[in-house]
Amino acid sequence: MKKQERGNHFLGGFANENIIKEYYAEKGAGLKPGTLLSENEDRYKLEIGIPFLNKKDIKLDLIGNKLTVVGNKPAEDIQQDVPQKKYIEVFFLPEDVKKNEIHARFEDGLLTISLPKKKIERVLQSIRLT
């Protein structure tokens, strides 16, 4: 694997922390699990630990290159003495992600999102000065 990072970031510059901070300033703190990103030649793999949520409580939306992960434990599923569980994270995906082939799986509190890469050919082009 080429690169691994821990924290609430997607490849350092791809996550917009201001959006996340604004959301938490407005809505209050919810679950803030850690994330793990790994990358190889073919894909990015994003793993997000979201304990105490079920598969039915999680929603993923993709608009353009903005991937939003929302987890919300319904009030009827929460014990009286436990505060409501909420989670939101926004990731801005790199341009080389094949958006129509994204796959997500949730098992034992771990959300795994597979982000296949497109082959982007980068060609060196010389520019003539005049």
Whether residue 45 lies inside any domain: the answer is yes
At residue 62, the pLDDT reads 96
> Is the pLDDT assigned to residue 20 strictly greater than 50?
no
Q: What angle do CA 23, 100, 104 make, to 5 degrees?
A: 60
Alpha-carbon gap, residue 61 to 65, rounded angstroms: 10
> Residue 26: inside a domain, yes or no?
yes
Whether 102 shows a pLDDT value over 90: the answer reads yes
The partner residues of 96 in beta bridges, in order of sequence, read: none
Structure pTM?
0.64
71 in a structural domain:
yes
Amino acid identity at 2:
K
Domain-embedded: residue 93:
yes
The pLDDT, as a whole number, for residue 83 is 58
